[in-house]
Structure 1
């Protein structure tokens, strides 16, 4: 898949999260930092039901793009759910867990996108 297509898919995942009222949504371009993925989408959801709803909405949106979810971690507790779509990995956090793990800091050299923007 070409880079611009992967970016489009990452932003579609972010929009799906936003549609379910996820907050603090960012897209990290990690292409130059790791080989495991090209983009991380990170967002917060305020409760277990919202984490589940955001995760489901992202999976549904990716399915519309023909992108298969390769793995899901954390859905049982729904505090930090990781959705692996290969080139795009989506992290849905409850706020306390996002603050505790602060994975954005780990990828601090990545270009950061927000919805409707180009790289910062």
Structure 2
């Protein structure tokens, strides 16, 4: 499975848990830390944790190893490291504050094929 296919699987897992404003950024030309960022948010801590769990479960089903998950207990900003893909699951307040899309504004957006991308 290539990275674009993995991004779609991750985005679907997020969408299944009603993650809002799911955005994927192609970081290959702007950063050495990852090829892609996936960014989304939930409206409360429990939803943020549910989104992170869904990502982990979807990766387990496709035999992709989650290298690291940070911030799960506080559930204000959970980072899921999938090696070439880094998922940022924010609480809505933190997403507005950190605004990674603006910070990494030079990165191009990846078209995601998910049904209900809420914003």
Task: Give TM-score, length-normalised by structure 2.
Answer: 0.90
* 1-structure distance, mates of 2:30, 2:64: 23
* 2-structure distance, mates of 1:14, 1:21: 11
1:101 alignment counterpart: 98
* 2-structure distance, mates of 1:85, 1:116: 20
1:19 CA drift (Å): 0.4
The SS at the match of 2:89 is strand
* Unaligned 5+ runs, structure 2: 115-119
Q: Larger relative CO (CA 8 A, sep 6+): 1 or 2?
A: 2
Question: RMSD of the alignment, in Å?
Answer: 1.4
1:114 CA drift (Å): 4.1
Could you tell me which of 30, 50, 55 is aligned with 1:53?
Answer: 50
Farther off after superposition, 59-68 or 77-86: 59-68
Aligned pairs, number: 114
Show CA shifts across 1:31-50 (max 9, x none). 11112111110001011110
1:73 alignment counterpart: 70
Show CA shifts across 1:78-108 (max 9, x none). 0110000101110100111000011111111
1:89 alignment counterpart: 86
Flag the 1:115–1:64 CA change in 2: closer, same or farther, 3 A: same
* Unaligned 5+ runs, structure 1: none
